[in-house]
Amino acid sequence: MTTATIVKVQFNRHFKEVNQSKKRYRVLKGSAGSGKSVNIAQDFILKLGDPKYKGANLLCVRKVNETNRNSTYSELTGAINRIYGERADEFWEVRQSPLSLKSRVTGNEVIFRGVNDVRDREKLKSITFAHGKLTWIWIEEATELQESDVDILDDRLRGELANPNLYYQITFTFNPVSATHWIKRKYFDIVNPDILTHHSTYLQNRFIDEAYHRRMMLRKEQDPEGYEVYGLGNWGEIGGVILKNYQVMEFDTSFHMFDTMHHAQDFGFNHANAILTVGIKDGDFYICDEIYVHEMDTSQIIELADRKGLNKYLAMYCDSAEPDRIQMWNNAGYRAYPVVKEPGSVQAQIDYLKQRKIFIHPNCVNTIKEIQQWSWKKDKKTGLYLDEPVEVFDDAMAALRYATEPLRGAEMNWSNERPAGW
C-alpha cells in the first residue's frame, strides 16, 4: 500500500463549515464561478484517500450519465492532480471506461451514474463495492433532477457502518433557477438539523481573476435581473416568469404518439445552440428531446445530430438571421427552413404558447432550467414588467418559440405528412 505526505491544498475559507459538516444533506447553492464544485471535489478526494475514512465510497450523479465526464469526473481528477501532483498515479487508479476512481491507499472508490430513465434508476438499487458501502453521494447540477430521483438515491443510504468515522451524506451543488424549484421548498424553506444549506458567489472565491470580475460587472450593467441569479446566486424571482403552463413528466416520445412532430433550432456558439424535437397532440406541445451545446460550429453540431439519430424527415424551423447555417443543415439532408420574423412575432409566439399545455420530458434538462427562469424584462424606473423577454439563458426558449410557427399559420406552407410504413 502506498503511503506518503500529500502536497498542501488551497481552499476557500468560505467552505470550511461545508467541509466539516457530517449532516445528512449538504446543499450548496451558488453563482457561476463561486468555486463550490472545485471545493467539493477536493473535499471528497482528501477524505476518500484518508485511512480514517476507510470503507467510504462515493457515487456521483447527473441527470444524464455522460455529462459526468466533463463535470464531476473532470473536477475529481483535477483535484487528484492538484493534491498529489506528479505522484498522482501512486495514489489513485483512474479509469475512463467506465468512468471510475479508486484510492490505492484506502481502496475507496468513486463511480458515476445518471438517472435519466427508469433503467438508470433501477441500476442504482444494485450498486455494490468491493470494500465498504455506499456512504456519500454527490449530485452535481442538482436542479436537473426530479424530487423522485433524489428520493431513490436517499433510500440507498442506510444500514450500520463498520467504521465509526463514517456517515451517510448527500451533497448537492447547483446554480439556482426559479424560486418555485422543489429544492428550495425541500431544503431551504425549512429548519432541519440534518440539513446544511450554503450560499456562495464568485465574490467570495479568492482564486477568481480580475478579468472574470470585469466580465461579471458588465453583465450586472447589461442584465441586472440575470446578474442576481448568475452573478449573486439568488433564486430567480417568481413574478416575471413568462410560462407557467408546463409540466415535467415522462411520456412516450415515439413519432406515432403525436398528430405531428418537428424540430426547432436557435443557433449559437458562445451562448447555447439549442435544437428541440417537439411533438404536437391535440394542440398541446410535448418537448421530447434536446440538443444543447456550447462552442461547437455547425458542422460539429450536424455530426452530433447524425450520431444522435435526429430524424431528417421532420421539418426543422430555424432562426432566419443565419441563412448560411440553414443551408448547411439542408446540405446535410435535413429539412431546415427559416422562421419568418416580423414586428410583434416574439410576443405572438409567446401568446400562442401560453394558450397551450406544454409537457417536457425529464431528459430535456436544459429546457427545464430555462423555462423555470425565463422572465419578462423589468423597467428600471417603474419596477413594472415589460412585454419583452430577458435575452439571457433563453436559447431553448427561442427554439420553443420557433416551434410554434407551423401551427400558428406561418407564411410558408409547411408539410409534415408521415411517410409510408410509419
- pLDDT for 171-198, tens place per residue? 999 988 778 889 999 999 999 999 999 9
Q: Which CATH architecture has domain 13-209?
A: 3-Layer(aba) Sandwich (3.40)
pLDDT of residue 420: 34
pLDDT of residue 401: 96
pLDDT of residue 409: 62
Strands 260-266 and 315-319: parallel
pLDDT classification of 414: cutoffs 50, 70, 90:
very low
**Residue-wise burial string across 142-168, b where 16 or more C-beta atoms lie within 10 A, e elsewhere:** bbbbbeebbebbeebbeeeeeeeebbb
Say whether pLDDT at 396 is over 80: yes
Q: Where does residue 86 rank: exposed (0-12), middle (13-18), buried (19+ CB within 10 A)? A: exposed
Say whether pLDDT at 14 is over 90: yes
**Model confidence over 102-112: pLDDT tens digits?**
999 999 999 99
pLDDT classification of 419: cutoffs 50, 70, 90:
very low
Q: Where do the structural domains in the chain lie, given as residue ranges?
A: 13-209, 246-402
Quote the percentage of the chain above a pLDDT of 90: 64
Say whether pLDDT at 95 is over 90: yes
The cell for 270 is 458562445
Say whether pLDDT at 91 is over 90: yes
C-alpha distances in Å from residue 164, one per residue of 161, 167, 237: 7, 8, 43
C-alpha distances in Å from residue 132, one per residue of 28, 91, 108, 116, 316: 27, 19, 8, 27, 51
Count of alpha carbons within 13 angstroms of residue 175, beta-carbon side: 20
What average pLDDT does the chain have? 89
**Model confidence over 322-332: pLDDT tens digits?**
999 999 999 99
The cell for 239 is 413574478
pLDDT of residue 412: 38
**Model confidence over 146-162: pLDDT tens digits?**
898 999 999 999 999 99
The cell for 180 is 418555485
In 150-272, the DSSP E strands lie at 169-174, 195-200, 246-248, 260-266
Name residues whose C-beta falls within 8 Å of residue 117's C-beta, 6 or more positions apart in sequence.
250, 363
246-402: what fold? Answer: Nucleotidyltransferase; domain 5 (3.30.420)
pLDDT top residue among 416 and 368:
368
pLDDT top residue among 297 and 382:
297
pLDDT of residue 6: 57
Three-state secondary structure string covering 251-305: CCCCHHHCCEEEEEEECCCCCCEEEEEEEEECCEEEEEEEEEECCCCHHHHHHHH
pLDDT of residue 93: 97
Contact 34, 212 (CB under 8 A): no
Q: In the block, which residue shows the cell 434508476?
A: 121
Say whether pLDDT at 8 is over 80: no
Count of alpha carbons within 13 angstroms of residue 161, beta-carbon side: 19
The cell for 80 is 487528484
Among candidates 70, 7, 11, 17, which has minimal Cα distance to 42?
Answer: 11
Q: How far apart are the first and last CA of the chain?
A: 60
pLDDT of residue 249: 87
pLDDT classification of 238: cutoffs 50, 70, 90:
low
Ranked by mean pLDDT, the top range of 138-152, 322-336, 366-380 is: 322-336
